[in-house]
Structure 1
Amino acid sequence: MSAPIRVPARTEVLVVGAGPGGSAAAAAAASAGREVTLLDSAVFPRDKTCGDGLTPRAIAELDLLGLGDAFSGPRIEGLDLQGWGGRQQVRWPQRSGHFPAYGSAVARTELDDRIRHHALEAGARMVSGVKAVGATIIGGKVTAVQVNTPDGPAQIEVDKVIVADGVRSALGTSLGRSWHRTTAYGVAARAYVESDRCNDTWMGSHLELRDGAGELLPGYGWVFPLGTESGLVNIGVGALATEKRPAHMALRPIIEHYTNSQRDDWQLHGKPLRIASALLPMGGAVSGVSGANWMLIGDAAACVNPLNGEGIDYALETARLASEVLGENDFSTLWPDLLRSRYALAFSAARRLAAVLTVPRVVPLLGRPGIRSTALMEMVVRVMGNLITEDDSDLIARAWHVAGLASARLDTRPPFT
């Protein structure tokens, strides 16, 4: 555990938030020779509400950081999809030149701290237990960031700021970030349970979620093995919602019921522990993601898959993109334009589909035939895993690109606007 250090009076690049995105951005910027301060309100290692899953896209970004083999989680071959009386195991797509053919699952206590140490090894300076709460803006630029420390308020003068402080994004909000809930957002809870299948090579993904009375819920469940070193699986439930159709789910009893329903299949022992929940803006459903010398990345910019809440891969990817444009003079339009060029079509299509899935009667209509179609489940895995790229030209990719173009034409508020 790193002891908190004195808050510096000034830094060239301030990265606020030491999750995967913030630490990866700090590592990249420090490796490029910049003076970097990485700041977080927590003292590490710390926990974070998350499914802990790493898609092949996330593994690819960790490989670029030089951390591809740095974690204890098992190699995951794909998703074990279940629901509506059907079950299919679908491997991650074998597509050379894009992503590796495996994923993993690593507890955030381990993942975040290892990437943070990587940033420190690259030369970044860490300030722990200090919260960024506001900014001084002069001539359209952030000149200083106000922080709360155990000894009272202070400020750090800055040249550039990368905001990676998560779904609530206190600093982003003070800079004008707004979350628009008319599009789909997520509500989720996770816990940890001992399991004899903790080293399994498949992620459990349950597309049909019911409560203790057997009533269908507008949600999904997951079980992700975390490896023999921990002896645990991450087990969780999530729901999709919109402003018009909010999710009214008592998450604790639902996750306890879901755990019991998976007890035999996943060989679980004991009660679910460390239950935690989170609200997730998704699909770029925020505006105010940048200014002249600051930009939001990862969860703070709602770079989260609207269909399942996956965001670690996007956090790592936007961190890399942010580090690549740090030398530019003005991020005001450059950054949202870059985010839209990379993600807008996929986010638009996914959040429109997610909104449809918040209608209870639609879920079984799509789920029953879908779970029995290998082709549809392969598409589900690629979409849920963020594994369709701009240059993919197969039938599934072309269909998804067309869906994105059609959806974008209907958007009254495109992603990141």
Structure 2
Amino acid sequence: MVRDTDWVSAPTPLPTRTEVLVVGAGPGGSAAAAAAAKAGHEVTLLDAAVFPRDKTCGDGLTPRAIAELDALGLGDAFNGPRIEGLDLQGWGRRQQVRWPQASDHFPDYGSAVARTELDDRIRRHALDAGAAMVSGVKAVGATIIGGRVTAVQVNTAGGPAEIEVDKLIVADGVKSALGTSLGRAWHRGTAYGVAARAYVESGRCDDRWMGSHLELRDGAGALLPGYGWVFPLGAESGLVNIGVGALATEKRPAHMALRPIIEHYTNSQRDSWQLSGPPVRIASALLPMGGAVSNVAGANWVLIGDAAACVNPLNGEGIDYALETARFAVEVLGEKDLSALWPDLLRARYALAFSAARRLAAVLTVPKVVPVLGRPGIRSSALMSMVVRVMGNLITEDDTDLIARAWRTAGIVSSRIDSRPPFS
């Protein structure tokens, strides 16, 4: 495997014009740049950071994310452990639930790779495909004429500058500075996430299960409307990614001091995960979820991944959606007007699942509800298998089994009463 230290590239000068500008070199942006370059487009990939760089994340890769990496040609590019499923715990019970059997859509395993490695490897894949990379430059605004972005304004070390564009893909993350300047609005009436993660040395760093704790408590023993996780990153790293997340809405914000909670959670897992040393590199983030944003496209531009709130409301997973929406964006890149086409495409792909998931997530923001659902749920292997399938985004349009039909029906019912549907 190629290491970061093996990769040396000369700085790319800022172009004055490019056919396709991709803003944000996370998994979604880099995957879009790679796909667009492979399709024969002139592509410039731009990011405010200089790589490799860190990103607040759980680092987990579901089978759906693995499938997208395979499609991108990077299925064997990482040394993360082969994760068989989730080790779910809570209320004195434990269920180890494997990922569903391999299918035409997904493999039967996941993995976990630190974002310092994952993002930089996909970025380098885009460069290998022919994209040009400009680092340390932040996109801050755009010139719009007749609904089309004609140029993007950027801040560089040498001062402000401008890049003329034909097409624009915005993948600059949850805050999406460029998306906001284009009119993106985040609506917090539906569930959103508040999460923190850290890294700890672990004797079980090469474990084949992702730890997932459905009963999260603070140092005083009070039940919190959230969950905890421990994701092994492999023997080579010697680390696990450990974190806590909480669900919130505008009416029920999450009043959680994340640092003491993650420190308490780490101590609670110290023996079972053979942890040594304190949690380090603690970082936190807010997560728009379930398509809870509007203005995701214009005539020649689209928002993808986290910028478009394509994040699972039940667990904060977004890497698979970032990779998928990158692929979809390049597939429609040649269309004349994306302003209606893109949100319609996102709704067709995700609206039912997002609507049902964020409604359930909103219920889980009420602490008293969590044990009512959690206690009986953790006792049923069948129910936990369904939970893993839903949390892992592993239900497809082609699935016709009872669980898939029930989830789609829940989505249809939920969508009918949505005051603001996803991506609107």
- TM-score when scaled to structure 2? 0.98
After TM superposition, give the deviation of residue 60 of structure 1 in Å. 0.2
- Counterpart residue identity of residue 205, structure 1: S
**Candidates 54, 60, 68, aligned match of 1:53:** 60
- Counterpart residue identity of residue 265, structure 2: Y
**Candidates 88, 97, 104, aligned match of 1:81:** 88
After TM superposition, give the deviation of residue 95 of structure 1 in Å. 4.2
Q: Who is 2:326 aligned against?
A: 319
SS in 1 for 2:241: strand
Q: Who is 2:189 aligned against?
A: 182
Once the two structures are superposed, residues 28-81 of structure 1 have per-residue CA deviations (whole angstroms, 9 ceiling, x without a partner) of 000011000000000000000000000000000000001011011100000000
**Candidates 259, 262, 275, aligned match of 1:255:** 262
Structure 1: how far apart are the matches of 2:326 and 2:82?
Answer: 24
- Counterpart residue identity of residue 49, structure 2: A
- Counterpart residue identity of residue 139, structure 2: A
**Candidates 36, 41, 54, aligned match of 2:48:** 41
**Candidates 299, 304, 311, aligned match of 1:297:** 304
- Counterpart residue identity of residue 94, structure 1: Q
After TM superposition, give the deviation of residue 4 of structure 1 in Å. 3.4
Structure 2: how far apart are the matches of 1:188 and 1:246?
Answer: 13
Q: Who is 1:399 aligned against?
A: 406
- Counterpart residue identity of residue 409, structure 1: R
- Asked if the contact 1:2/1:44 (under 8 Å) is kept, the reply is no
Structure 2: how far apart are the matches of 1:260 and 1:192?
Answer: 13
Q: Who is 2:116 aligned against?
A: 109
- Counterpart residue identity of residue 411, structure 1: D
Q: Who is 2:165 aligned against?
A: 158
Q: Who is 2:144 aligned against?
A: 137
**1:219 to 1:109, Cα distance in 2 relative to 1, 3 A:** same
Identity rate of aligned residues, in percent? 87
SS in 2 for 1:375: helix
Once the two structures are superposed, residues 260-290 of structure 1 have per-residue CA deviations (whole angstroms, 9 ceiling, x without a partner) of 0000110000000000000000000000000
**Candidates 271, 274, 293, aligned match of 1:264:** 271
Structure 2: how far apart are the matches of 1:338 and 1:238?
Answer: 29
Structure 1: how far apart are the matches of 2:32 and 2:403?
Answer: 32
- Asked if the contact 1:2/1:43 (under 8 Å) is kept, the reply is no
SS in 1 for 2:297: coil
Q: Who is 2:423 aligned against?
A: 416
Q: Who is 2:3 aligned against?
A: none
SS in 2 for 1:323: helix
CA RMSD in angstroms, aligned pairs only: 0.6
Once the two structures are superposed, residues 290-320 of structure 1 have per-residue CA deviations (whole angstroms, 9 ceiling, x without a partner) of 0000000000000000011000000000000
Q: Does 1:149 align with 2:146?
A: no
- The equivalences for 1:180-259 within 5 A come to 180-259=187-266
Give every structure 1 segment of 4 or more consecutive aligned residues whose post-TM-superposition deviation is greater than 3 Å. 1-4
Once the two structures are superposed, residues 74-107 of structure 1 have per-residue CA deviations (whole angstroms, 9 ceiling, x without a partner) of 0000000000111000000004211000000000
Structure 1: how far apart are the matches of 2:10 and 2:184?
Answer: 31
**Matched length:** 417
Once the two structures are superposed, residues 370-407 of structure 1 have per-residue CA deviations (whole angstroms, 9 ceiling, x without a partner) of 00011110011001100011111111111101100110
